[in-house]
A and B are shown apart, each in its own frame.
Chain A
Amino acid sequence: PLKHNSELFTLTYGALVTQLCKDYENDEEVNKQLDKMGYNIGVRLIEDFLARSSVGRCHDFRETADVIAKVAFKMYLGITPSVTNWSPAGDEFSLILESNPLVDFVELPDNHSNLVYSSLLCGVLRGALEMVQMAVDVRFAQDTLRGDNVTEIRMKFIKRIEENLPVGDE
């Protein structure tokens, strides 16, 4: 009867967002907190990912994009976003999610129009990639919760992180 576990994560995430909306005065602050928490999760999740998938080192950003979409998203969220909209320089791309598991049954209340509900995901991706020496910028370009047809995550490669620099804890 109960779909194994998919609801648990979604419901828990929803409870978290609800709590943060209570704790913080404005949506931007909630987005920031979600992103920060996502980052903290990402820096640990990468180890779990590397241990369980058999992917080796990615040679370029295109390979990274494929691994994120086809292996990581599939493993953790059971979906495979498509990779599109590459910048000419090859340093920026979009992940298009037809469906976003985090937002099942979620509706944004009227007074939270600036809330980027799935901000946790941006932080997770950023934190995970930082652990493999890539500094990236991640943001939502489209969001079905805010009326768009699809959910689009835009990822931009900033720079390679030198391995001997200590990584700050947020």
Chain B
Amino acid sequence: MADDALFEFLHMEIVAHVYKEQATREDIDKERVTCVSTLELMGFRVGQGLIERFTKDCPTFKEDLDIMKFLCKDLWSTIFRKQIDNLRTNHQGTYVLQDNKFALLTQFSTGKQYLEEAPKYLAFSCGLIRGALSNLGLESVVTAEVSLMPSCKFQVVIQKL
């Protein structure tokens, strides 16, 4: 069983690598978009993979809200060792998940110092959420927002096809 720290170190190194690689190739604006989407896509595949590894006791969900609750409680605890602290919804397909001490941001000092850097470290996790939901039957758009480290909010907008 791989230790938490290993994933955290790997994640940090992946972010560093993606940005270093892009910096040697493109101009700044394009670099930022591509890096984030590369990380998001990696997270997406991992999120899908996590759900696939589920044993046959995969629960059946009655509504979207049940899936979101599962994500916030079971999945989040499995991945980040804690549950989402706050889940809000407008009951029209938009959900906001708040994590007051997000595992991938705790390496930064608390406060506003590295706010600019934060999105780099959230892209993978946004993809992770999107990938997990995709395999649970929900297509979504996931974005993240940080105003005070290490607290962050993930916004999930369910896409109705």
List residues of A whose CB falls within 8 A of some B CB. 1-16, 18-19, 23, 33, 37, 40-41, 44-45, 48, 75-78, 101, 120
Q: Does B49 contact A (CB under 8 A)?
A: yes
Known A-B contacts A5-B4, A76-B2; the reply to A15 vs B42 at CB < 8 A is yes
Known A-B contacts A1-B58, A76-B3; the reply to A9 vs B10 at CB < 8 A is yes
Known A-B contacts A15-B45, A76-B3, A78-B1; the reply to A2 vs B78 at CB < 8 A is yes
Interface SS majority for chain B: helix
A77–B21 Cα distance when bound, in Å, is: 28
* 3 tightest A-B CB contacts, nearest first: A9-B2, A78-B1, A6-B1
A5–B16 Cα distance when bound, in Å, is: 22
User: In the assembled complex, which residues on chain B have CB atoms less than 8 Å from the CB atom of A8?
Assistant: 2, 7, 46, 50, 78-79
User: In the assembled complex, which residues on chain B have CB atoms less than 8 Å from the CB atom of A23?
Assistant: 21
User: In the assembled complex, which residues on chain A have CB atoms less than 8 Å from the CB atom of B54?
Assistant: 1-2
A37–B10 Cα distance when bound, in Å, is: 8
Number of interface residues of B (CB under 8 A): 32
- Identify the interface centre among A6, A15, A18: most chain B CB within 10 Å of its CB: A15
Known A-B contacts A1-B55, A12-B42; the reply to A7 vs B7 at CB < 8 A is no
List residues of B whose CB falls within 8 A of some A CB. 1-7, 9-11, 13-14, 16-17, 21, 38, 42-43, 45-46, 49-50, 53-55, 57-58, 74-75, 78-79, 81
A18–B48 Cα distance when bound, in Å, is: 15
A161–B7 Cα distance when bound, in Å, is: 29
Known A-B contacts A76-B2, A76-B5, A78-B1; the reply to A5 vs B42 at CB < 8 A is no
Asked whether A6 lies within 8 Å of B5 as measured between CB atoms, the reply is no
Asked whether A7 lies within 8 Å of B14 as measured between CB atoms, the reply is no
User: In the assembled complex, which residues on chain B have CB atoms less than 8 Å from the CB atom of A16?
Assistant: 10, 14, 42
Q: Which residue of B lies closest to A18 (CB)?
A: B45
Could you name 21 residue pairs across A and B whose Cβ atoms are closer than 8 Å?
A2-B75, A5-B2, A5-B3, A5-B4, A7-B50, A7-B53, A8-B46, A9-B3, A9-B7, A11-B46, A12-B7, A12-B10, A12-B14, A13-B10, A15-B43, A19-B38, A41-B10, A41-B13, A76-B3, A77-B1, A77-B3
